[in-house]
Amino acid sequence: MPEITPKSALEIVTVAALSDNYDFLVHDPVSGRTALVDAADPAPILDALSERGWTLDEIWLTHHHWDHIDGAAGVFEATGATLTGAKADQHRLPPLTRVIEPGQSFDFAGHEVQILGADGHTVGHIAYYIPDAKALFSADSLMALGCGRLFEGTPEQMWGTLSRFAALPGDTMVYSGHEYTASNARFARTVEPDNTALQNRAKAIEEARAKGEATVPSALSLELATNPFLRAHLPQVKQALGMTEAPDVAAFAEIRARKDRF
C-alpha cells in the first residue's frame, strides 16, 4: 500500500501593517507552501517571509478596499504568487489567477479552504474558512467584538453573514482584519453593561494592548459570548435596546447604527 502522509498542522502568522491592519501568512510545514490573506503593505509581509525562510505561493484577497489590496502588486512582483479573489469583486481587484465564489472550495497543501459569502461591509466580500485548521479569515465582516461598517451592503446582508459564521464550531479562531478591539469593547459595554464575560474580556484587552499585544485572532465562542453584533437576536440584548418585539435584523441594524455614532 502507498504510504499516506499525515496532514500537517498549519502555521498562521499575523502580520501587522499600516496603522491597524492585519494580514496573515498561512504555512504548511510539510509541503512548504505558504499563502497570504490580504496584502495591505508589501514591506512587513516580505520581511515576515524572509525571517522564516518561507516562499510565498498564493495570495487570497477578501475584498476590494485599498488597505487590503494595495500591497498585492508589490508582493506579486517580489514572489510571483498567484492571486485568488471573488468573482463579484473581480472588476475592482488586482488581476486574478483564480476566481472564486461563495460555496466553492479549493485545496491548499491538502487542506480544504471553503469560500463563505461575507457581504455587508462591501458587496462581494468573502471569507476563507479552513475547517481542519479551525481558522476563519473574516477580514472586515466579523471582527473582534465588532463587525465592519456597512459601506455597501445592507443590515440584512451583514446579519446573514454573521449568522452564517455563528453556526461554525465554537473553537474556530477568527482572524479579522484590524486592531479595533479596544474601541469595540468600549462600545459593546454600552449595549450590555452587565455582561460579565464582556467585562472580563474588556479588561484582558486593555492589559494586552498596554503591552502592545494583538487581540486578533479571537475564538468564535468568545465572540458569541461578548460581541453585541452576534448577540442581537438574544432577548436580553433586545430588551437593553428597547426593542423587545423587534426582528433580529432590526436589532442588529440598531446596534450598527449606534456604533456608527459612537
Feature table: binding site for Zn(2+): 63, 65, 67-68, 121, 140, 178
H/E element holding 116?
A: strand 111-117
SS3 percent helix, strand, coil of the chain, rounded to 5, is 40, 25, 40
**Helix boundaries (H) for the chain:** 42-52, 66-69, 72-79, 155-166, 181-191, 196-210, 220-226, 235-241, 248-261
- Helix 181-191 vs helix 196-210: crossing angle, to nearest 10: 160
145, 91, 95, 83: which is closest to 122 by C-alpha? 91
Q: Which cell numbers in the block locate residue 117?
A: 459569502
Cβ of 213: how many Cβ atoms within 10 Å? 10
Q: Could you tell me which residues are annotated as the binding site?
A: 63, 65, 67-68, 121, 140, 178
* Cα–Cα dist 79/70, whole Å: 15
92: amino acid identity, one letter: R
